[in-house]
A = this chain, B = another copy of it.
Amino acid sequence: MNRLSAHDERLPLYQRLRDDLLQRIASGEWAPGAAIPTEAELTQAYGLATGTVRKAIDMLVAEGVLVRAQGKGTFVRRPDFGNSLFRFFRFRSRAGSDVRPSARVLSRALRVPPADVRQALGMGDEAMGIYLSRLRLIDDQPVLAEDIWLPRERFEPLVEIKLKDFPDLLYPLYETSCRQLVASARERLTVESAGKAIADRLSLAPGAPVIAVQRLAFDFAGTPVEWRCTRGAGDGFQYEVDIR
């Protein structure tokens, strides 16, 4: 006898357990960084064999939702925004180590987003969005220009924050102020020639190669929560992938 919701009897038990655990994580029952019940407790609670429970957890580990720690437990993964969601642009200090640029919010607006953004975020035709224009700098030199759209409904608290009080990293702010967790993202990379507006913002020669990274960020449930487009000089840009 098990206690899995019967949302689809045909699915394997480990699959249904995985879905159930993911739903409980998405619902906030276990916060990022917190431990989920032990394998023994889960086998008890759901009335399954250890191998089945392990397989469900294996899947969530492979998906990057959970992390195991031998002898300690299994934990909801806290995405590290320092690197994993910041892959495309890398900057190095003069010393050679990686550097994270600081950020400055230039402006904020409340508007209905353009059609492509509304569609990407699954927003209705008249739903309000929050727009942020941001600059990222190293040693006070602008290196990246960002356009960000958020659905107002989920991010209302951001309307009140003073522009100068926005931190360098937005995702932790989303988490603490709006209880919105970014769990994954999809990025699309293209090359442009700098138009006048971008050339001005990034102190580039007009026509210089520019990399544009368009990112759609999702929560644990797979709902898109943020649309973002980041532009930077193509110069010095580098990206690496492994293919199998």
Contact = CB atoms under 8 A, between A and B. Distances in A.
A242 interface: yes
Contact of A188 (B87, B193, B240): B240
Main secondary structure of the interface of A (DSSP, over half): strand
A51 interface: yes
A186 interface: yes
Interface stretch (A94-102, A120-128, A166-174, A230-238): A230-238
B184 A85 contact: no
Given A209-B209, A234-B234, A241 B186 contact: yes
Nearest to A194: B209
A238 B192 CA distance: 11
A243 interface: yes
| Residue with the highest number of chain B CB atoms closer than 10 Å, among A63, A85, A211, A241 | A241
Contacts of A244: 63-64, 84, 183-184
Interface in A38-57: 51
Which of A51, A191, A239 has most chain B Cβ within 10 Å?
Answer: A191
Nearest to A235: B191
A5 interface: no
A237 B190 contact: yes
Contacts of A235: 191
A87 B193 CA distance: 22
Contacts of A191: 191, 209, 211, 234-235, 237
A185 interface: yes
Given A51-B51, A209-B234, A243 B85 contact: yes
Contacts of A63: 244
Given A191-B234, A234-B191, A235-B191, A240 B186 contact: yes
Given A184-B244, A186-B241, A188-B238, 14 more contacts: A51-B51, A63-B244, A85-B243, A87-B243, A184-B243, A187-B241, A189-B238, A189-B239, A189-B241, A190-B237, A192-B234, A207-B207, A234-B234, A241-B241
Interface of A: 51, 62-64, 84-85, 87, 183-193, 207, 209, 211, 234-235, 237-244
